[in-house]
Amino acid sequence: MKMKPVLSTIIVILAAASLGVVGTYASFSDVETSRDNYLETAELNLRLKNPDNIGEQWDESVLRTWHYEKKFPSVPNPDAPPWYGRMQPGDSINSYVYLEADGTFVGNHIDIYCSNVNEELDLDTDIENQRENELLGNPIPPIPRDPNQGIYDKDTVMIITYMKYHTTVIISSEYVFDPAFFNDTSGDGRISLDEFEKQPLLGLTPVPTDGTITFTMDVKFADGDWNEYQGDRTNMTLFFALMQ
């Protein structure tokens, strides 16, 4: 009859061992991973290319697409006499640029902006600047002259005589333009580089990812007696923006 306490003790020990086993299994774990989850954004990418005769290849930007020196490639130094690389009233420069999109998705539209800087390379004398101000109707500044004196509005006489983007003719001749894109703010019936700068082209057809688009523009130094612009130049920059 004394076996009962021993049996009770064995049962208690087995129960405790059983609880220990349960606790051991509950602490097991297995961890796996989901790897290489790159959250990469799509990319808009627009590239430009000059005409073949200028020699530029596809790049993020191009140089001197509309540059009068290109009409006289054999002249070794257009900055020296006989000045073959300079425009006179009535002269025109005609050129175009290719646009290509090679991003990972198609943009919604193209915007084109124009920026002009009028430069006076050979500074006029004070008396020349005074006469120029009289011709242009500008206030006569005090002497000594400002270093920028005489740099005013040469881009207003640089007339766009033709402009085409892809299949859309925007300006078809010197006096014919699409009013959906330009207003004749000067009232002379023409669109100048100055007016292009103030009225960018917005919402144009986007460049397809499997082809190219051409932007063509002809610019003419307006006919007239423009003595005040002798030796001056307009530095034009075009910005092509591919927008989502």
User: Does any domain span residue 155?
Assistant: yes
Residue 25 located in a structural domain: no
In a domain, 21, yes or no: no
Q: Give, for all 244 residues of the chain, the pLDDT tens digit.
A: 555 555 555 555 555 555 555 555 568 888 999 998 988 887 888 899 988 777 668 888 888 888 866 555 555 565 554 445 678 899 898 999 999 988 777 789 999 999 998 887 666 666 666 776 776 666 665 555 555 555 568 899 999 999 999 999 999 999 999 999 999 999 999 999 999 999 999 999 988 777 899 999 999 999 998 877 887 889 999 999 999 8
**What is the domain range of residue 92?**
46-243
Instruction: Give φ, ψ of 160 to 5 degrees.
Output: -85, 115
Is 121 a domain residue? yes
Q: How many domains does the chain have?
A: 1
Residue 115 lies in a domain: yes
Residue 178 forms part of a structural domain: yes
Single pTM value for the model? 0.74
SS3 string, 5-57, reads: HHHHHHHHHHHHHHHHHHHHHHCCCCCCCCCCCCCCCCCCCEEEECCCCCCCC
Residue 40 lies in a domain: no
